[in-house]
């Protein structure tokens, strides 16, 4: 398949709010369960080892009118939870047998409580991702949580995986993260050949299909990208920070690049890249998965940072690694974790002489003119003066 046809395939999955691909998977795999998970990090290896299809739930974006969802949440908080409720209340998530709610923020924690009340037939699990300074205590705690999840899902699916099956799932997700790293590296190397719009659509499609298929599709896309290099433009290189949970509308990602800013790193769908290093395949697989989280979780607004200066030095390191010219802070409106961190991140970046701009979005934002002007001016100012 060509790059364009893979992107088109991914776009069709992204736009399909009926999750037809998940429904088809269930029809073709009778008796097996599909389990949803909210952002940011869920241990999908365990779902896979139990024979379940992990399904990323990211809201309906700008393609879903909120009718019932507004009755459940205050109007001033981020858009994601009302959008997820709307998906649930309209029956679009009825192919799921359960949903995992990671401890990303209070909003998602509250959503887990609502889900329990609204959908008593679903398995609902609040996943208490560790936030403690002592690595030994954190690893023991997280291994205990993972074992409980394994036991629950083993019961739900009717399949309790042995150690070898767990290791096979760990190895598969190691390969998948490696492929995603290669995809990001290819974009950073030649962003005109791997446009962020296509990379993003591929990641979104990957939230809906089995990991084996996602891995094959990334490899196919990379081969197609190598065979069809795009035409380089005189754009600036930026990293986008703050979009780790509620996702920006596709139009916003396109707008940033069309306004003259190549995105060379980002935190879209960060759960895909949450573990920076491979999970070890020797020893107890659950211990290995727990330790990998504690030792190599990506530095982000949803993980405890023990170093008081850590948030201030983070962007300098990221910008250098990506050879970026500047930073665009793009967070969902009223996103507590992203907006609480932003002053520290911005302060550190500006002290390091890195140009920054900031805006807020909602997943259903439909007007991009102001973003186009901001990103366009930012790119021009970087090219003219190295900053704003
Ligand atoms: S967008 Fe931010 S505030 Fe809203 S659910 Fe996600 S992390 Fe929480």
Cβ–Cβ < 8 Å for 205, 298: no
Q: pLDDT digit string (tens) for 249-281?
A: 999 999 999 999 999 999 999 999 999 999 999
Q: Which residue's CA is the nearest one to ligand 1's atom 6?
A: 245
- What whole-number distance in Å separates Cα of residue 43 and Cα of residue 274? 10
Q: Tell me, using a 6 A CB cutoff, whether residue 264 lines ligand 1.
A: no
Q: What is the mean predicted confidence (pLDDT) over 63-82?
A: 91
Q: Tell me, using a 6 A CB cutoff, whether residue 108 lines ligand 1.
A: yes
Q: Tell me, using a 6 A CB cutoff, whether residue 331 lines ligand 1.
A: no
DSSP string, 291-314: HHHHHHBPP-TTS---STTHHHHH
Q: What is the mean predicted confidence (pLDDT) over 172-197?
A: 98
Burial of 121 by CB count in 10 Å (0-12 exposed, 13-18 middle, 19+ buried)? exposed
Q: Tokens 């107890």 — which residue?
A: 284
Mean pLDDT estimate for the chain:
96
Q: Tell me, using a 6 A CB cutoff, whether residue 38 lines ligand 1.
A: no
- Token digits for 338? 């992203």
Statement: residue 172 has pLDDT above 50: yes
Which segments of 236-322 are extended strands (E)? 236-241, 261-266
- The strand pairing partners of 359, in sequence order, are 330
Q: Which residue's CA is the nearest one to ligand 1's atom 8?
A: 105
Q: What is the pLDDT of residue 388?
A: 45
Q: What is the pLDDT of residue 132?
A: 80
283: left (phi over 0), alpha (psi -120 to 50) or beta: left
- Which of 108-122, 304-318, 354-368 shows the lowest per-residue confidence on average (mean pLDDT)? 304-318
By C-alpha distance, which of 278, 281, 286, 258 is closest to 195? 258
Q: pLDDT digit string (tens) for 6-35?
A: 999 999 999 999 999 999 999 999 999 999
Statement: residue 353 has pLDDT above 70: yes
Q: What is the pLDDT of residue 225?
A: 97
DSSP H helical ranges for 99-134 = 106-118
- What whole-number distance in Å separates Cα of residue 204 and Cα of residue 363? 14
Q: What is the mean predicted confidence (pLDDT) over 75-83?
A: 93
Q: How confident is the model at residue 387 (pLDDT cuts 50, 70, 90)?
A: low
Q: How confident is the model at residue 233 (pLDDT cuts 50, 70, 90)?
A: very high
Q: What is the mean predicted confidence (pLDDT) over 163-169?
A: 98
| pLDDT more than 70, % of the chain | 99
- Please compute, for residue 219, the number of CA atoms within 13 A of its CA located in the half-sphere on the CB side: 10
- What whole-number distance in Å separates Cα of residue 137 and Cα of residue 185? 34
- Token digits for 233? 């433009």
Which 8-state DSSP code applies to residue 122?
S
Q: Tell me, using a 6 A CB cutoff, whether residue 80 lines ligand 1.
A: yes
- Token digits for 301? 């607004």
Q: What is the mean predicted confidence (pLDDT) over 341-351?
A: 95
- Contacts of residue 112, defined as CB under 8 A and 6 or more positions apart, other chains included, come to 99, 101, 124, 125, 126
- The strand pairing partners of 358, in sequence order, are 329
Q: In Å, how far are 38, 49, 143 from 207, measured between CA atoms? A: 11, 17, 24
Query: 221-253 in b/e burial notation, b at 16+ Cβ within 10 A?
Result: bbebbeeeeeeeeebbbbbbbbbbbbbbbbbbb
Q: How confident is the model at residue 385 (pLDDT cuts 50, 70, 90)?
A: confident
Helix, strand, coil fractions of the chain, as percent rounded to 5: 55, 10, 35
CA 90, 96, 97, 103 torsion: positive or negative? negative
Atom number of ligand 1 nearest to Cα 336: 3
Neighbours of 26 (CB within 10 A): 17
| pLDDT more than 90, % of the chain | 92
Q: What is the pLDDT of residue 150?
A: 98
φ, ψ of residue 17 to 5 degrees: the values are: -80, 0
- What whole-number distance in Å separates Cα of residue 334 and Cα of residue 240? 17
By C-alpha distance, which of 208, 216, 217 is closest to 21? 208
Q: What is the pLDDT of residue 74?
A: 85
- What whole-number distance in Å separates Cα of residue 315 and Cα of residue 350? 10
């Amino acid at each position: 398949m060509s790059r364009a046809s893979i992107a088109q395939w991914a776009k069709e999955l992204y736009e399909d709010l009926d999750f037809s691909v998940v429904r088809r998977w269930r029809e073709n795999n009778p008796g097996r369960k599909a389990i949803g998970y909210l952002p940011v990090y869920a241990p999908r290896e365990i779902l896979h080892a139990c024979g379940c299809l992990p399904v990323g739930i990211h809201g309906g974006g700008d393609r879903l009118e909120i009718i019932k969802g507004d009755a459940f949440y205050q109007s001033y908080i981020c858009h994601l939870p009302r959008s997820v409720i709307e998906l649930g209340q309209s029956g679009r998530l009825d192919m799921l047998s359960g949903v995992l709610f990671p401890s990303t923020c209070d909003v998602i924690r509250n959503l887990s409580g609502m889900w329990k009340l609204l959908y008593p037939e679903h398995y609902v699990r609040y996943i208490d991702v560790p936030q403690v300074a002592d690595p030994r205590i954190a690893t023991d705690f997280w291994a205990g949580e993972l074992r409980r999840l394994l036991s629950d899902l083993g019961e739900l699916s009717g399949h309790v995986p042995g150690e070898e099956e767990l290791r096979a799932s760990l190895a598969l997700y190691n390969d998948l993260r490696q492929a995603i790293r290669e995809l990001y590296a290819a974009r950073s190397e030649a962003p005109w050949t791997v446009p962020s719009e296509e990379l993003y659509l591929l990641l979104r499609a990957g939230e809906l299909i089995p990991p084996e298929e996602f891995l094959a599709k990334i490899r196919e896309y990379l081969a197609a990208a190598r065979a069809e290099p795009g035409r380089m433009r005189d754009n600036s290189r930026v990293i986008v920070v703050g979009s780790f949970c509620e996702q920006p509308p596709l139009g916003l990602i396109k707008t940033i690049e069309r306004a003259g800013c190549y995105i060379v790193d980002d935190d879209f769908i960060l759960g895909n890249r949450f573990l920076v290093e491979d999970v070890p395949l020797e020893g107890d697989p659950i211990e290995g998965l727990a330790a990998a989280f504690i030792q190599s979780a990506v530095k982000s607004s949803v993980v405890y940072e023990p170093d008081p200066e850590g948030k201030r030095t983070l962007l300098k390191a990221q910008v250098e690694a990506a050879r970026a010219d500047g930073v665009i802070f793009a967070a969902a409106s009223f996103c507590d974790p992203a907006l609480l961190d932003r002053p520290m991140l911005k302060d550190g970046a500006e002290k390091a002489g890195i140009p920054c701009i900031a805006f807020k979005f909602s997943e259903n934002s439909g007007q991009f003119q102001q973003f186009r002007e901001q990103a366009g001016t930012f790119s021009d100012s970087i090219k003219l003066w190295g900053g704003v």
